[in-house]
Structure 1
């Protein structure tokens, strides 16, 4: 991603000593030292112009290198939004935008990168989760901190983050629908659609709300409605004995324990009768691990 010189903060960083070894080129000569007077010759003026163009190209190259470093540290640096703060979810992107990673600002605060699906079923979708046959495998058996803030690569397997999801679905002037796209290892595809999707704050355990299922995959999410999110280090399930997240190696709105487990272990098709995989029970059963899963949301109503 290239960055223009509209961003003076980046330019200032480039001209200091703390940018990093890979950007430690010799400092630029101050422009004030380039003497250009009315009496200078045409040849000298041309040389000065060439020198300025060379220095501008060097600054642009440094900006590009710094932006690549920023892009590689997802969640660790504050990205610079290419669009206005009005882009709260992917449905707000300008017409003609391409599917891929964009910067959103769900509310006042730091903008966050998200993957936008702008083609499927009318487009406008903000992705929350992707599981797919991509190597190296991404470990989803992680703790509360990782599920809160998100992990993975937005163009590969990832979990967007419960905090981002709460910030987005808690907007008072929008209501969201959730679409779950599923694919098996034989090329079969199904989907499930839910209205009124949102989650509560961390203080309430990121409790799940969704209703009015439609689709052809079967309803494997309504069982989990009202549940708080559980991870291997924070047990919120309703099982009296088991800790579902530790048994089934994932993070989810476990109840006692699940009808769906989209953050389970990535396996291949039929699995041993332990239900450890990426599961949507109402389609292929609890012992079938799916090849591909995407969870995505878009607003159905903007007040």
Structure 2
């Protein structure tokens, strides 16, 4: 009990697998302590123990700024959810970390099965949405701003890796040595370059474009609203070479430019099944 008195308590209500988990942060050491609240019920217990938050529930761990920081501090549980703080002045966020032999990657977007609708308005993309154990856009259901999280992450995490998997199981990767976005004042303009990989480069076309949603049209196309036309939210130009926040479509067949598009590998008529976007240093 004495330990708890030294903590600053913030109760964060997570959806599904991690709802009603209390996070305590020490004001001096910046270590976090997580524990389940009394609101858990029997039907939720099994699922909730399957996903850790910076370690097992009830543990104490130092806050990491990103997944590379987690790797450097000895974390190796790839695919687990971690509590992160991309900027020291901002609140905690949660994201999936993936680890390889020598680095950690912060998953900022994940598409799996169409269980989450990504055709959303500007405020949803600013706030974040989805479920950490399924599909999400980083910052989902946290006390912070989603696109701002990406802005702060790309101050130090300048590399992007995109994994795409077709409906037949064929998976390929597009890697970028440079990826960052500008501040909200510039509508999160994207900067991307230095492609390597085997999925072809479908992001170079979007370099220098502002982020757009159907209700906040920032693309340079004066004839159409690309977000509305493409059923998504992205850094549109005139309109897409890629559209990874487009609609998930069973079987992959898509109306032209709609769906989860990566047109330099497949055409604009094909919608991918699985996508991971992850940031690294």
TM-score range, shorter-chain basis? 0.7 to 0.9
Higher relative strand content = 2
Deviation at 1:296, TM superposition (A): 0.1
> Unaligned 5+ residue runs, structure 1?
15-22, 24-62, 73-79
Deviation at 1:274, TM superposition (A): 2.6
In 2, Cα distance between equivalents of 1:213 and 1:205:
24
Deviations 1:186-211 (A, max 9, x none): 11010000012110011100000111
Partner of 1:7: 4
For the pair 1:98 / 2:83, whether they are aligned, the reply is no
Change (3 A) 1:111 1:247: same
Deviation at 1:130, TM superposition (A): 0.4
In 2, Cα distance between equivalents of 1:205 and 1:11:
34
Deviation at 1:271, TM superposition (A): 2.2
Scaled by the length of structure 1, the TM-score of the pair is 0.70
Please point out which of 130, 133, 136 is paired with 1:158: 136
Deviation at 1:162, TM superposition (A): 1.1
Please point out which of 29, 37, 42 is paired with 1:65: 37
Partner of 1:115: 96
In 1, Cα distance between equivalents of 2:250 and 2:192:
29
Please point out which of 102, 109, 112 is paired with 1:132: 112
In 2, Cα distance between equivalents of 1:166 and 1:272:
31
User: Does the Cα contact within 8 Å between 1:180 and 1:296 map onto a contact in 2?
Assistant: yes
CA RMSD of aligned residues (A): 2.8
For the pair 1:280 / 2:262, whether they are aligned, the reply is yes
Deviation at 1:81, TM superposition (A): 10
Larger radius of gyration: 1
Partner of 1:47: none
Report the more deviating stretch, 222-231 or 156-165. Answer: 156-165
Scaled by the length of structure 2, the TM-score of the pair is 0.75
Change (3 A) 1:191 1:10: same
Deviation at 1:8, TM superposition (A): 3.1
Deviations 1:37-83 (A, max 9, x none): xxxxxxxxxxxxxxxxxxxxxxxxxx6225869xx9xxxxxxx9953
Q: Aligned residue pairs: how many?
A: 233
In 2, Cα distance between equivalents of 1:175 and 1:12:
29
Change (3 A) 1:97 1:273: closer
Partner of 2:164: 182
Q: Residue 7 of structure 1 aligns to a residue in which SS?
A: helix
Change (3 A) 1:262 1:272: closer
Within a 5 Å distance, the mapping from 1:1-303 to structure 2 comes to 6-8=3-5, 64-65=36-37, 82-85=60-63, 87-93=64-70, 94-99=73-78, 100-108=80-88, 109-119=90-100, 122-133=102-113, 137-160=115-138, 161-170=146-155, 174-299=156-281
Deviations 1:271-298 (A, max 9, x none): 2443311010011111111010000011
Deviation at 1:249, TM superposition (A): 1.2
Partner of 2:16: none
Q: Residue 130 of structure 1 aligns to a residue in which SS?
A: strand
Higher relative helix content = 1
> Unaligned 5+ residue runs, structure 2?
12-19, 21-34, 42-47, 49-57, 139-145
